[in-house]
Amino acid sequence: MPKAPIKIAFCGDSISEGTISFPWVEELVKLYSNSDKYEIEKFCQNSLTTISWPTEYLQQVIDYKPNIISILLGTNDCNGAIRFPDDFTLESFENNLSNIVSELQKHTKAKIALSSIPPIGEDPTEEIFIKSGEYSLIIKKIARDKKCTYLPVYEKFVTLLALKNKKLQPTFSYPQWAISIGVAMIKKRILGKSYEEISQEEGNLIHVDYLHLNDSAMELVKLNKDFIDSYPKPWYSFLAKIFYARRTSS
C-alpha cells in the first residue's frame, strides 16, 4: 500500500499567489514534481491581509489536513498601515497573525513556518521600508512565542540589497505604488516581458513594483526548501539506518 504524501500548504497573498510576483511556489512544485512523497496546495490570493485571509482560507487549510504549513502574510497589512493607520496597527497585526497560528496549531498537527515579509520598496530610509522591518520583527516574535520555524525573508532581501550596492532611480515613488503595480502587470501580461526586464526598466533591484518580487524570489524557494526538507522522517527510518550500518560493518 503506497504511503500517503506529505501535504504542504502555502498560505499567503499575491507574493505567494504568483500572478503579479515571481511564482516562487511553482518553482517548489517543479523541484518536487518527480517525487510522489509530497503534495503541494496554495491557499493564497491577491490583496489578502491577516484580517481577510482567515475568512477565505483558514477552514480550507484545516480541512486539507497538512503536514507542513508555510505562511507569508503581512505585506498588505504593512502597506495598509501607511494609508489607513487606524485600521492597520502593529498591535492588531500581531493579534491577527497570532490567532491564525493558534487556530492552525489547535486544529492541525502541521509543522508551521512563519516568513517575515520582503521589504516594501528598496530605499532603507523610506518610511514604508522601515515599517516592513517593524512588521517582520513582529512575525519573528510570534514565531518564537508559538514555537514555529522562522524564515528570515526580510533579512535575506535587506542583505541582498546591500550586496548589490547599486543606486537605481525607481520610476515611481511610494505614493504611486498602485500605478507601479498596474504598469508591471501590463508589461508582464500584455507585453510578455520577464520579471527581470520589468525590474530594470522600472529602476528596481529586487521588485517589479513596490510590493512584488522579480526572480530574487528564488530566496523564498531556498528558505522553504530547507524547511520542507527538515520535516521529520518516520521513527522507523532511524532504526533502519542503524540496522543497515550494522549489516555493512559486519
In a domain, 170, yes or no: no
In this prediction, residue 165 carries a pLDDT of 65
In this prediction, residue 235 carries a pLDDT of 47
Closest CA to 5 of 48, 42, 41, 37: 37
Closest CA to 17 of 43, 54, 38, 56: 43
Would you state the cell numbers that stand for residue 2, as one nine-digit string? 503506497
The model's pLDDT over 59-91, given as tens digits with 9 standing for 90+, comes to 999 999 999 999 999 999 999 998 899 999 999
In a domain, 188, yes or no: no
In a domain, 179, yes or no: no
In a domain, 100, yes or no: yes
The per-residue pLDDT of the chain, averaged, comes to 89
Alpha-carbon distance of 204 to 166, in angstroms, equals 10
Looking at residues 120-125, what average pLDDT do you find? 92
Q: What percent of the chain has pLDDT over 70?
A: 88
- Give DSSP secondary structure letters for 75-142: HHHHHHHHH-TTTS-HHHHHHHHHHHHHHHHHH---EEEEEPPPPSSS-TTSHHHHHHHHHHHHHHHH
* CA–centroid distance for 106 within its chain: 22
Looking at residues 206-234, what average pLDDT do you find? 91
Alpha-carbon distance of 142 to 144, in angstroms, equals 5
Question: How many CA atoms within 13 Å lie on the side-chain side of 203?
Answer: 11
Q: Which amino acid appears at position 202 of this protein?
A: E
In a domain, 176, yes or no: no
In this prediction, residue 242 carries a pLDDT of 54
In a domain, 121, yes or no: yes
Q: Which strand ranges, in their side-by-side order, compose the sheet holding 111-115?
A: 38-44, 6-12, 68-72, 111-115, 149-151
Taking the CA atoms of 146, 69, 37 and 63 in sequence, report the sign of the dihedral they define: positive
Closest CA to 133 of 155, 115, 104, 166: 155
Alpha-carbon distance of 77 to 41, in angstroms, equals 23
In a domain, 190, yes or no: no
The model's pLDDT over 105-118, given as tens digits with 9 standing for 90+, comes to 999 999 999 999 99
Which residues face 224 on adjacent strands? none
Alpha-carbon distance of 206 to 199, in angstroms, equals 7
In a domain, 199, yes or no: no
In which domain, by residue range, is 26 found?
6-165+213-244
User: For position 136, which CATH number holds?
Assistant: 3.40.50.1110
Q: Phi, psi at residue 40, to the nearest 5°? A: -115, 130
The structural domain count of the chain equals 1
Burial level of 22, CB count in 10 A (0-12/13-18/19+)? buried
